[in-house]
Each structure stands twice: as C-alpha cells, then as structure tokens.
Amino acid sequence: MDWLLLFILLLTTIFTWQNCQARDVVKMSTEKVLIKKLLSEYKERGIMGRPVENHKEILTVKFGLSLIQILDLDERNQVLTTNVWVTYEWKDIYMRWNESDYDNITKIRVPKGSIWEPDIKLYNYADERMEERRDANMVIHSDGTVLWIPQAIFKSVCKIDIMYFPFDIQTCRMKFSTWSYDGGQIDLQDLYGVKTGFELTDYVKSNEWDVLRSGVDRNVITYTCCPDAPYVDITFHIQIKRKPAFYNYILILPCILLSSLTLVLFWLPPESPAKMQLGMNIFVAFFVLLLLLNESTPPASASIPLIGAYYCLNMIMITLSTFLSVVIVNLYFRGSKSRVPRPIKTIMVDYIARVMCMHEQVKTKKTPNQEVMRIGIGKGCNKKDKNVKYDKVGYYEMQAENSWREQSNGVLPNDLTNFVEQDKMGEMSTSLSGHFDTLSCDVKEIKGYLKKMMDKAADKEAKEVIAREWRIVALVLDRLFFFLYFFAIVISVCIVFKNAFFDDTDIPDVH
C-alpha cells in the first residue's frame, strides 16, 4: 500500500514538472529569447565604452532631425522652441545575430539605456530642464545597426534681428555634437547624406511663422580645451518668415492712421484751440504704441526695429508740428506790431503761395486810397470862386437854384445886386462880411475834423493790411508744413515697410 502511494506521488510530480516546462516554453518566444540572450551578454560586457573591437577604430554615427512644429520664438529672450524627432543610427557589433537561428528575425526592440548610446548634445541649448528627449525604444537590426528615433522638444539660442519687425525673416541654428568623444573616436555624419537640413514630411504649419528653407553643415572644430583632437558637429539652420497679419492690426494700421491724422493739424484754422490739443493727443497715442512694441521686441537687441524708429520719428514730427503750430498761431495773431520783411513777403507770397495754389487766399483787397480822397477834397479849392470850397457843407443848397448857378458863373444874384446898389450903408456891408467870416471858420473846423477822421481811417486800414500780411504768411507756412509732413510720411512708410510692399519671396510648400 505504501509503495502504491509512493508510486502515485511520483507520477504526479513528473506530470506537474512536465506541464510547468511546457508552460515555460510557450511564454519564451524566439524574439524574447533572442533579446534576453543579447542583453544578458551585453550586460556582462558592460554598456560603457564604444561598441568597437579596436579602440583606435572610428565609430560612425549618423544624425538627423525631423521638424514637427515650431512651438515658439521668444524674441525678448531670443529662444527658439521646436518639437522634433531626433534620429540616431550607428552599428553595435555586440548586438548581431544570425537570422536563420532565430526564425528569420531581422530586427528587435530594446529599451533606452540597455545598450551603449552616443552622448550627442545640443550645444546652443537654452533650457532649464535636465532632459529634452522623451524615452523611446531602440530598433536593432540583425547586422547590428541601431536606429533610435526619440521625440524631443529643444530650446535653442537664436539670435534675433528685429530691424524689419514685423516683416522680419529670422535664421536660427541648432548645433549638435558629441560632448566627450572627439573626431578620432566618433565620426558624426548627416543622416540623409544631402544638405537638405530638417526633414519636413510631418511638419505642422505654424500660425505665426512660415518655413522658407533649411540646411545642414558639418564642421570640424578644434576647441581651446582640447587642442590635440578636433570635434565634429552637425549644425542645422532654418530660415523662417513671420506672418504679420496680427501685427498689421495692432501696430501698423493704428500707426499709419495716426500719422495721417497728424496732417489735420495743418488744416485746422490757427484760431482753433483744437490745433494744439490734437497734437498732444496724437503724441500720447504714439507713446502707447511704442510701449506695445516694447513688449514684443528684445530690449537688448543689437538693432533697432524700423517701426520703432518710425514711431520715434512720428513723435518727433508731432512735437515739431506742435511747435510750428505755435509759431503759426503767433504769426496769425501778430497784428500790426511790425511789417513783414520784404524778403519773407516776396518768398512766401510771390513764390511759395503760387506753388501751393493759394492765389485766392493771398489776393489783396482793393480799398479807397487816402491820397485820392484828399485830392478829391482839395480839388475844388483851386477854382477862382472862393465860395466853391463851401460846397461840402451845403452852401449852395441853402440858396435857390438860379442863385447858385449864377454865382458859380461869377455873377451875383439880382436881388443881392439891387440890395448892394440901393443900400450903400457901411453897416450892411460889414454884417455880410462878418457872416462870410463865421461861415468860413466853421467850414475850416469841419475840414479839420474830416481830415482827422480820414487819417484815422487810413491808419486803421494800414494796420489791417499789415495784420493781413502776417496772416497770409502764417497760412502759407501752414500749407508748406502740410506738404512737407505729407512727403515725410510717404518716404518713411516706404522705407520702413518696403519688405511688406516689395518683398516677392516665394514661400515653398513644406508638405
């Protein structure tokens, strides 16, 4: 009985062991067995050191970048942030196998860190993170070729030239090289074999930047720290152009409108108080735009953006136009303190006014001449009849029509002749003579008063002529400054925005 139980227990043990062995064989696939075997042997050799048989042998590592997206270009900090796929390719002699021994398996995948990998770094990095690459498995072929394509977000230093902002074209570079191996140990090569730069098959277009072109250069540099061994680096460069649509609405259009509004300063009449207020308001508006521009550009840039210079130029011109407006207002209300100098009057009225098409505004109104009026008054005094000078005060109007007609011909009226012939008394003659003397004195006083009034009117007219000459000079200057400012705006706009108006660069389709 005991022997029977022992026999049954033995059979159960054998059967269980066989089942476990069968299960182990199912779990361990050929690929898994191959990976386990290769990694186990690799671990015994160690992952440190290049996978070469002779230490003098040069290991070739091919390197390439696939641009996925331009995440950001920080102009203030001069940092380019890109999303890329990094491609490494090299041969590891310790990861070879015979395909026929392992069910014709041509390639396997192993995790990062299980085998040797090149220490290729971004030299011009600007990242506070410790690691910019994402974990990804390595694909290994049967001949030992290792292909590793990890995802990465690089932040690289990019020198920004903002002279033509926001119509600028930037060229950024990304320099990659091994950190500890020189050119005698690792030969770094371009993966694609031609200088195409970034691989753009999976590129996602940016909302702010267009890719114009890209390229790559292979350089051999000897550093000061290691003069005996040159280092090989692969430098990618990409040229991108900004899309200025957003800035056209917040910086360019308000700038041009405010510049055009400044022209109104020279069209407002000098007596209007808005002439000075408008200039100050436009100056404040340009200052606000300048603050907005300051937020978008690096403060320590080597070059000043032309649009910033355009803002400053407009602020200077607005300040100058306000100052000129004060001068024009002062000339307009100068009055008759002094006459306009002859050279200024000749240049402004005779030449500049004609060029500015201001003929109607500078015409002088024809007014009665004081000398002509004086000649008209004294003209009757040359007649032989002394009573003609009394005509101005109605001497003839107090007599009958026949009487003053005969008197005007030098003949006394009949009634007066009879009166003189019949009355020969001295008293009547004396009375008539006194009557004429009194009347003559009154007429002289009236003539003196009229002369005083006419002199006063003539003086007032002369002052008005002088004041009008100053007003004409002010108006001509106003029109002259308007055209000068207009041409200055047109020239400055053409200089600042020539890249936007005359740039015919074709942007290639990156897809």
Residue-wise pLDDT for 371-383, tens only, equals 434 434 444 434 4
- The answer to the question of residue 500 being in a domain is yes
Question: By CB neighbour count within 10 A (0-12 exposed, 13-18 middle, 19+ buried), where does 230 fall?
Answer: middle
Residue 320 pLDDT grade (very low, low, confident, very high; cuts 50, 70, 90): confident
Pairwise CA distance, residues 8 & 397, whole Å: 174
Most confident of 235-239, 450-454, 483-487: 235-239
Q: What is the pLDDT of residue 106?
A: 92
- Pair 261, 199 in one domain: no
Q: What is the pLDDT of residues 255-296, one digit of tens each?
A: 888 888 877 777 777 777 777 778 788 888 888 888 888 777
- Pair 194, 298 in one domain: no
3-state secondary structure (DSSP) of residue 201? coil
State the average pLDDT for the chain: 76
Task: Tell whether the model's pLDDT for residue 132 goes beyond 80.
Answer: no
Two structure tokens written together for 356 = 């500015």
Number of domains in the chain: 2
- Pair 181, 94 in one domain: yes
Task: Give the end of a domain, one of 227, 243, 259.
Answer: 243
Rg (CA), the chain: 53
Task: Give the end of a domain, one of 223, 243, 263.
Answer: 243
- Pair 252, 351 in one domain: yes
- Pair 79, 171 in one domain: yes
Pairwise CA distance, residues 254 & 287, whole Å: 12
When pLDDT is averaged across residues 405-422 and rounded to a whole number, the result is 48
Two structure tokens written together for 247 = 């800035």
- Pair 145, 265 in one domain: no
- The answer to the question of residue 408 being in a domain is no
Closest CA to 100 of 159, 51, 34: 34
Pairwise CA distance, residues 318 & 283, whole Å: 6
- Pair 97, 81 in one domain: yes
When pLDDT is averaged across residues 387-416 and rounded to a whole number, the result is 46
**Lowest-confidence pick of 8-17, 413-422, 473-482:** 413-422
Q: Indicate the pTM of the whole model.
A: 0.65
- Pair 339, 229 in one domain: no
Task: Give the end of a domain, one of 207, 226, 243.
Answer: 243
Question: Which has more confidence, 472 or 201?
Answer: 201
- The answer to the question of residue 104 being in a domain is yes
Residue 180 pLDDT grade (very low, low, confident, very high; cuts 50, 70, 90): confident
Pairwise CA distance, residues 140 & 111, whole Å: 11
- Pair 359, 506 in one domain: yes
- Pair 193, 79 in one domain: yes
Stretch (H or E) spanning 209: strand 209-221
Q: What is the pLDDT of residue 111?
A: 92
Closest CA to 173 of 237, 125, 115: 237
- The answer to the question of residue 413 being in a domain is no
- Pair 261, 210 in one domain: no
Domain hosting 497: range is 248-402+450-511
Q: What is the pLDDT of residues 191-204, one digit of tens each?
A: 876 667 898 889 99
The enclosing domain of 213 has a CATH number of: 2.70.170.10
Q: What is the pLDDT of residue 2?
A: 58
- The answer to the question of residue 25 being in a domain is no
Pairwise CA distance, residues 261 & 468, whole Å: 29
Q: What is the pLDDT of residue 404?
A: 43
- Pair 261, 200 in one domain: no
- The answer to the question of residue 356 being in a domain is yes
- The answer to the question of residue 484 being in a domain is yes
Closest CA to 162 of 285, 295, 54: 295
Sign of the four-CA dihedral 361, 362, 363, 367: positive
Two structure tokens written together for 62 = 């091919």
- The answer to the question of residue 62 being in a domain is yes
Q: What is the pLDDT of residue 82?
A: 94
Task: Tell whether the model's pLDDT for residue 101 goes beyond 80.
Answer: yes
